[in-house]
Amino acid sequence: MHEPLFGALASLRDGWPARGWSWDSRLACVSSSFPGDVAETARAAAKASLTFEWDAKSLSRAPREVADLAEQSGGLRSGQYIFTTAVVGGAIAFGLWWPWNDDVTTSLRAGLAGARVSGEELRLQEIFNVTL
């Protein structure tokens, strides 16, 4: 059921300008941090694979799965975004765009959220070649 979501995440991985994905156990997703000189390319890759973009202003119009993800991850602050796929079977693929306070580094956390995604962590780790 989640194949289109995994396909979007594999596309994100293939177009990603930075390497070195790691596991974020807090949100059960993968994470990549990158310097400002690749931020434009990274953002383009996120938008190409995860076609919907949400910020603090547009979040009120987002599907419930996106709003729930924003709440679970601590909300959206200025400069933070959530990139998502369309909802498939009550789930979404996502990318959380989080600039760091150093004004140089940004992180993208990518994974699945929503209904019936428990147990999908292993597949996500395989796609991004990360281990716990």
| Three-class HEC string of 76-130 | CCCCCEEEECCCECCEEEEEEEEECCCCCEEEEEEEEEECCCCCCHHHHHHHHCC
Structure tokens belonging to residue 67: 């709003």
In this predicted structure, the answer to whether residue 113 has a pLDDT above a threshold of 80 is yes
- CA dist 60 and 102 (Å) reads 29
Query: What confidence score (pLDDT) does residue 86 get?
Result: 96
Residue 101: other Cβ atoms inside 10 A: 6
Query: What confidence score (pLDDT) does residue 18 get?
Result: 87
Per-residue pLDDT band at 20 (split at 50, 70, 90): confident
Structure tokens belonging to residue 111: 């994974």
pTM for the model: 0.93
Backbone phi, then psi, for 47, in 5-degree steps? -70, -30
Query: What confidence score (pLDDT) does residue 41 get?
Result: 96
How many domains is the chain built from? Answer: 1
Range of the domain at 105: 3-128
Per-residue pLDDT band at 19 (split at 50, 70, 90): confident
pLDDT by residue (tens digit) across 28-41? Answer: 999 999 999 999 99
Q: Provide the 8-state DSSP code for 71.
A: H
51 Cβ contact list (under 8 Å, min separation 6) = 83, 84, 85, 86
Structure tokens belonging to residue 104: 């140089």
Query: What confidence score (pLDDT) does residue 101 get?
Result: 84
pLDDT by residue (tens digit) across 52-106? Answer: 999 999 999 999 999 999 999 999 998 999 999 999 989 999 999 999 988 789 9
Which is more confident, 49 or 103? 49
In this predicted structure, the answer to whether residue 42 has a pLDDT above a threshold of 90 is yes
17 Cβ contact list (under 8 Å, min separation 6) = 34, 38, 41, 42, 45
